[in-house]
Amino acid sequence: MELTGKKEEHNRKMVLYGRKHRKLINRRRTLKERKIDPKEEERFMKALEIETMSSEDSDSEDDSIFVTRPLSWVSTEFKQLIQRLDRKYDRMLNAQGKRLKSKRTVGEPSDRPCPKKPKGLKWMFG
């Protein structure tokens, strides 16, 4: 991989995947801690997959700021769920966790195509 120059590209993809994966884990953990109807929890848990996490990239000028690229094909209901989970997660962080959390800004919408709509999850697509 080093000879063909693909190692650097692979490492970059793994960093981006890692961020999405951590975001997914944090949102699922937060959802489990909420006191909601078990059927609703199951419905939301099915929607939280790696494909439904928005991508993040470092700001070219400042590496301490991440630019989040929202997904244009998600429904308002799903966006609101994600926002509630993120706010609750932020409130659960201790002082050190809050200091270590990177700043994020919203950038241009992602051009990632909409994944196949699984049966029972059509509510999450706009």
How far apart (Å, rounded) are the C-alpha atoms in residues 86 and 26? 8
Residue 50 clears pLDDT 80, i.e. is over it: yes
Does the pLDDT value for residue 60 go beyond 70?
Answer: no
pTM comes to 0.82
**Are the beta carbons of 120 and 81 closer than 8 angstroms?**
no
Q: What is the mean pLDDT of residues 110-121?
A: 87
Q: Is 103 helix (H, G, I), strand (E, B) or coil?
A: strand
In a domain, 1, yes or no: no
Domain range spanning residue 59? 6-124
Position 42 in a domain = yes
Q: Does residue 93 lie in a domain region?
A: yes
Provide the pLDDT for residue 103: 85
Specify the number of domains making up the chain: 1
Cα separation, 109 vs 55, in Å, equals 10
